Amino acid sequence: MLDEQFADHYIKHGYAVIENAVTVEQLKPIVSAAGKIVDDFDVEKHRSVFSTLHQDKDRDRYFVESAEAVHCFLEEGALDSEGRLNRPKNQAINKFGHAMHDLVPEFAAFCRLPIFLTAMRAVGFAVPELWQTMYIFKQPKIGGEVRWHQDASYLIADDPGVVGVWVAMEDADRSNGCLWMQPGGQQSPLREIFEVTDAAPTGVLRQLDDTPWPDGSQAVPIEVSAGSLVVFDDRMPHYSSQNQSAKSRQAFTLHFTESGTAWSKLNWLQRRQLTPFVLS
Ligand SMILES: O=C(O)CCC(=O)C(=O)O
């Protein structure tokens, strides 16, 4: 059970933290499954970079197809000017996603830990449905900035929308690129939308509203220890800086809707083959 403070904080501020919600022991199976995914990744075959700094113009078919697969994406800073890796593969990957909960047993088991259902019930979902999972490395020295954004721009669903859960796989603080949020920012307008259309089969980002992103006086760093969960509203503006430190800042994320919520056909992420992943 979560106390009332959790739900109150979530409603008021648009996010809430559950410190040390899972143990380091419970993280271990997905850490080792992640290691195997990286080992098996053929970097010669797929040289797709994930950066948030170019208006999402570098999305490709490999990205769109990751909705129902497990695909690895490289850090921009891991390639030299000729497009060759400038470091070992296991220090070059930005993230992988987005269907580990369907396709990798260790991740499926992790997503079924009772804390996720408890957290989703606390924010008002009766039957939470899991749409995507991501494992983010935020590599030492080159872990790319994730620019200010709102998840509702990338995961388009009718009300009550999407709720994100960010699991700290390692301690996260300002030095290694922790999340930043704008308390109350879930009330702000949706600024952008990323849609897949016939004209843009790998998606295009469109501006909806010119409300500025939060500045330093409005944003707070979410510094948490490994095993903590950050639960946040899909309108919450959030950001993480480049990781200039010598340590990584790994995280695992899950995005839920209430089961049965209408999912836009314009979403880049479509689950056509996979069975709905529902918590109950
Ligand atoms: O982990 C990060 O640095 C950012 C993750 C994020 O913004 C997201 O999952 O929407």
Domains recognised in the chain with CATH numbers: 4-271 (2.60.120.620)
Residue 149 CA, closest ligand 1 atom number? 7
Q: How far is the CA of 52 from the centre of ligand 1 (A)?
A: 10
Share of the chain above pLDDT 90, in %: 89
Nearest CA to ligand 1 atom 10: 151
Full DSSP string of 179-227: EEE-TTGGGSPP-EEEE--SS-TT-EEEE---PPPP-TTT-EEE-B-TT
Sequence-separated (6 or more) residues with CB below 8 Å from residue 225: 19, 20, 168, 171
pTM, two decimals, is 0.96
Q: How far is the CA of 238 from the centre of ligand 1 (A)?
A: 8
State how far Cα 205 lies from the chain centre: 18
Full DSSP string of 108-121: HHHHTSHHHHHHHH
pLDDT of residue 47: 79
- For residue 75, give both structure tokens: 């850090």
Q: Which residues contact ligand 1 via a Cβ below 6 A?
A: 136, 138, 146, 151, 179, 238, 240, 251, 253
- Residue 128 pLDDT more than 80? yes
pLDDT of residue 55: 73
Q: At what angle do helices 114-122 and 4-13 cross, to 10 degrees?
A: 60
Q: Identify the bridge partners of residue 70 per DSSP, sorted by sequence position.
A: 98
- Residue 1 pLDDT more than 80? no
Q: How far is the CA of 165 from the centre of ligand 1 (A)?
A: 10
Q: What is the mean pLDDT of residues 206-214?
A: 98
Q: What is the mean pLDDT of residues 225-250?
A: 97
Q: How many Cβ atoms from other residues are within 10 Å of residue 129's Cβ?
A: 20
Q: Is 128 exposed, middle or buried (0-12, 13-18, 19+ CB in 10 A)?
A: buried
Q: How many Cβ atoms from other residues are within 10 Å of residue 200's Cβ?
A: 15
Nearest CA to ligand 1 atom 2: 240
DSSP state of 212: P
Report the chain's mean pLDDT, rounded to a whole number: 95
Nearest CA to ligand 1 atom 3: 240
Quick one: pLDDT band at residue 168, thresholds 50, 70, 90? very high
Q: Render pLDDT for 19-66 as a digit per residue (tens, 0 to 9).
A: 999 999 999 999 999 999 999 999 888 878 888 777 777 788 999 999
3-state helix, strand, coil in the chain (%, to 5): 25, 25, 50
Q: What is the mean pLDDT of residues 197-225?
A: 96
- Rg over alpha carbons for the chain, rounded to the nearest Å, is 18
DSSP state of 58: T
Residue 177 CA, closest ligand 1 atom number? 3
Quick one: pLDDT band at residue 159, thresholds 50, 70, 90? very high
Residue 166 CA, closest ligand 1 atom number? 9
**Coil, strand or helix: which one is 101?**
helix
